[in-house]
Structure 1
């Protein structure tokens, strides 16, 4: 007789207020996971930049602003993140600790990554850097989102618009990314293989790694996110 083992269900992502996020169980573990995830996320972005084979929509925008202003990539990420947070105000959203940390830690980690990673000469090395960056980005997303300490500024903008307007998540996410991608391209940001690869794979990657890294909380006064 064969015995089949059931795969454990993924822990749910909960709709927590900023206060609930900090009062929920396993806070030291979640804080550590958050910081590791955000640091790896910034480093993965540097890997994608140094591959020179194309960026995700927001980083096309960031790179375009970098070329126009002469500011470092991390500085642009920081300024854009703060600007996006200002858009939360009319949406009546409150940032969590992870939201604020997202703005500063990713900006710093990206600049550190760009300082230590050089652009490879060989195409094979560039492709390896691109693929590794996309996978690491998925791991990092699972880590920091799974810490349940608040969404990033850009994700929060999307969910806030959905809640206030009644638009679908798909339409809202697509509209935002088309807008920033087109703006970044006009500013001189890099589109290419990486842009396509990221668009096709980042959703499944983050979904997979969320199953691995989401910290189970289940407070009585919170409900799962849709």
Structure 2
């Protein structure tokens, strides 16, 4: 039996929702990595002072004596490094997914307002075949004038734009040599602000997704009217007994 083809309004929303689920998965993974990392923080744990002796280790000065090690602190240091690497990787993936989600939702709204009927969110790809985010700007979304959620959407975009600007500023400062004290402070503040890009993009994406639901109201009503007329025509075409 052939699969039922979705109407473009449904498949487009599902496409954006899949981007939401992707970002949410990475958000959860990042939160978990953060929590796991804190569990081996030396400020929160007391390492055991017990030591072990390693005999027959590689030749060096004093190799005739056993090498004494503290296995528990060694393990904590190793785990801290591994968990910090995992947290950093999860944060990177979460940020990428959140930006794709937000930009995909905005792209879908813009496409509808331009009179297009895309069945899916379409992305260009980079040299590694990874999707490249669309623009995040609200410029051109004039059709949201009567949308009650437009002010909140605008504020969310401003928050995201500010953090993205902080990231650019941090990169600019980091490329400079011999920073003055006040510039070093700016670099720290800009980097700290940029760390919130992922959460800001996710919040913006949620509001953009809501605006997509609003933008789809008229196309969905038109679809319902079309189906109702088709059903009525089919009933009229039935032969009378």
After TM superposition, the score normalised by the length of structure 2 is 0.24
Which has more helix, going by share of residues? 1
Larger relative contact order (CA 8 Å, sep ≥ 6) = 1
After TM superposition, the score normalised by the length of structure 1 is 0.25
